Structure 1
Amino acid sequence: MAFEQLKLEISSLFTQMQNEPEDKHEIYLALREKLGQLKATGMPLPEDLVRLEHELEAEFSSEQRKRE
C-alpha cells in the first residue's frame, strides 16, 4: 500500500475517533494495523501516532484489569 494512501486512512481514523468515540477500541486496532503497514514500508512512524497508540493500549489494559 502506498504511503499516501496509509496517511489518508490514518487521517480517516482520527475523524472516526472524533465522530464515534464509543468505537475507540476498533479504531485503536485499525491504527495498530496501519502503523504496522507503515513500518513495513520502512517509513518512520510519526511519534504522535505512536504515542496515541501507547496511550490507547494503556487505557484498554487498565480497563481490562478492572474487569478481572
Structure 2
Amino acid sequence: MSFETLKASISLLLDQMVNQPEDAHQIEESIREKIAEFRSLGLPVPEDFKSFEASLSRDLARHRG
C-alpha cells in the first residue's frame, strides 16, 4: 500500500471514530494496524499519527491501572 493510501485510510478511520463513538475500540485497533503497516513497509509515520498512537497507549494504560 502506498504512503498516501495508508494516510487516507487512517483519516477515514479517524472520521469513523468521531461519527461512531460506540465502535471506538475496534476503530482504535484498526488505526494501530495501519500505523504498523507504515512501519513494516519502511514508510515514515506522520507525526500526528504518532501522537495519536501515543495518546491511545496512555489511555489504555490508565484503564488498566
Gaps in structure 1 of 5+ consecutive residues? none
| Partner SS, residue 44 of structure 1 | coil
1:62 pairs with 2:41: no
| TM-score computed with the length of structure 1 as normaliser | 0.80
Gaps in structure 2 of 5+ consecutive residues? none
1:38 pairs with 2:30: no
| Partner SS, residue 34 of structure 1 | helix
| TM-score computed with the length of structure 2 as normaliser | 0.83
Q: Which of structures 1 and 2 has the bigger CA Rg?
A: 1
Specify the code of the residue in structure 2 equivalent to 1:53. E
CA distance in 2, matches of 1:35, 1:59: 17
Supply the RMSD in Å over aligned alpha carbons: 1.4
Q: Which has the higher contact order (CA 8 A, sep 6+)?
A: 1
